[in-house]
Amino acid sequence: MGLSENKPALEILQDFGPKLLTLLLSPRAIALNRAAAGDSSGILGKTLAKHGRETIFPLLVGIFDRVCKEKMIKTSPTKLAEIYIRLLVGDLQIRRVIGAMDEFTPKEIKQRSIEAINIIMLNESIDF
């Protein structure tokens, strides 16, 4: 996903969130996380982090950097990205991994993404 110069950053975020949450809660991601949890060497977990969060998070920081510039928000884009991930994903992935919840519907994923954005934008003046 490129950061299109033609789209406002919040629109990019509105597209990005549901795609990310769908990926993180997918049966494949859940199976990989279950395998990583059972890998006592930690190698699979480190590999998942390197090719997952360590790849995606800088893109998310870039989106929030644009959000901050476009909306004249003084909060750190990195901090906003961290908060956004917490709001978007929270404990959903681990709850799926341990079988404590069923798959989300596309509608639930979209709603969760909208809520995460709204919470951040409502608190834009707070010094995180």
The reported pTM is 0.86
Nearest to 34 by CA among 95, 88, 104: 95
pLDDT band at 124 (very low <50, low <70, confident <90, very high): low
* Residue that has been written with the tokens 């995180």 in this structure: 128
pLDDT band at 73 (very low <50, low <70, confident <90, very high): confident
Instruction: Render pLDDT for 20-50 as a digit per residue (tens, 0 to 9).
Output: 999 999 999 999 999 999 999 999 999 999 9
**HSE, side-chain direction, 13 A CA sphere, residue 117:** 21
* Residue that has been written with the tokens 């709001």 in this structure: 87
Q: Residue 4: pLDDT above 90?
A: no
CB 28 within 8 A of CB 22: no
Q: Is residue 84 classed as helix, strand or coil in its secondary structure?
A: helix
Domain 9-122 is found in CATH 1.10.357.10:
yes
